[in-house]
């Protein structure tokens, strides 16, 4: 009787995100937590869950809580806590805080990017 050992070969791609650079936490436009950090996102081609071949490499801002992610870009970065819309709770009139000057409506590159 032949003994045929069939090893299933699993392959695919996975993305690994590694923190890099300035790790000062920034405010996340989606979940409002100060949990956005700079990171390098690299896609690997892997076989049997072992990353073998680096496929693509990009620099991103990523939220560690809600996984919001946006490519790093020159003229924009997430707001630092204290500068942005999270100014210590509610507005004096009890309602939600108005959008700050630094956050122009319509310029949220993350949302544009995610529809590509």
- Binding residues for Zn ion, rule: CB under 5 A, are 28, 30-31, 63, 65-66, 68
The Cα–Cα gap between 5 and 19 comes to 41
The residue (of 37 and 63) whose beta carbon lies closer to Zn ion is: 63
Instruction: Output 23 or 50, the one with its CB closest to Zn ion.
Output: 23
Tell me which residue of 104, 114, 107, 101 sits closest to 66, measured CA to CA. 114
What's the N-to-C CA distance of the chain in angstroms? 54
Report the nearest approach of Zn ion to the CB of residue 36 (Å).
Answer: 7
Residue pair 25/35 in contact (Cβ under 8 Å)? The answer is: yes
Considering the complex, state which of residue 32 and residue 44 has its C-beta at the smaller distance from Zn ion.
Answer: 32
At its nearest, how many Å lie between Zn ion and the CB of residue 94? 25
């Amino acid at each position: 009787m032949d003994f045929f050992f069939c090893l299933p070969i699993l392959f695919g791609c996975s993305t690994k995100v590694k923190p890099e650079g300035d790790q000062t936490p920034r405010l996340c436009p989606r979940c409002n937590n100060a949990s956005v950090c700079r990171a390098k996102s690299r896609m690997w081609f892997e076989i049997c869950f072992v990353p073998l071949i680096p496929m693509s490499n990009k620099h991103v801002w990523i939220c560690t809580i809600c996984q919001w992610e946006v490519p790093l870009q020159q003229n924009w970065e997430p707001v630092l806590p204290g500068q942005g819309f999270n100014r210590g709770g509610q507005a004096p009139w009890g309602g939600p805080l108005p959008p700050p000057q630094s956050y122009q409506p319509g310029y949220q590159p993350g949302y544009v990017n995610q529809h590509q």
